[in-house]
Structure 1
Amino acid sequence: MGYQKATAYETLLEFTFEVGKLVTMQDISSENAKKRGAFKERFETGNSVRSIEESFSLKIDIE
């Protein structure tokens, strides 16, 4: 079915690695919540088939 988009999750952590070592970790849940709300609104008011196809795309899209 494809990859689940980041907007599907309430908790979202962003990790940055350099030379295989973790350098930073950020909780980006609050900014993701805004995107999740926009996606939900578009999903509920748009073309259902297209929205489902976008939801389960085989592309890894973090936006």
Structure 2
Amino acid sequence: MGLFSSGRGPRSFDYEPRYHDPDDEDDRELKRRMQSQRALQVRRSPYSLYLFLGLLLITILIYQSI
């Protein structure tokens, strides 16, 4: 890459083509859809709801006392 580099020709280019397999892509799309549906079905524990309500109640009480 210098100014006076002589004797260098173009670099060789080795490319291995990757073939498209539509069945494989359909399987990946189905798996992705199933995982997103499974994530929606996961139920959170009610502890997080109780924690949120407790923090909300404390915040309201502090705000009212000021």
- Higher Rg: 2
Task: Pick the structure with more strand per residue.
Answer: 1
Task: Pick the structure with more helix per residue.
Answer: 2
**For this structure pair, what is the TM-score category when the shorter chain's length is used for normalisation?**
0.3 to 0.5
Q: So what's the TM-score if we normalise by structure 1?
A: 0.33
Q: So what's the TM-score if we normalise by structure 2?
A: 0.32
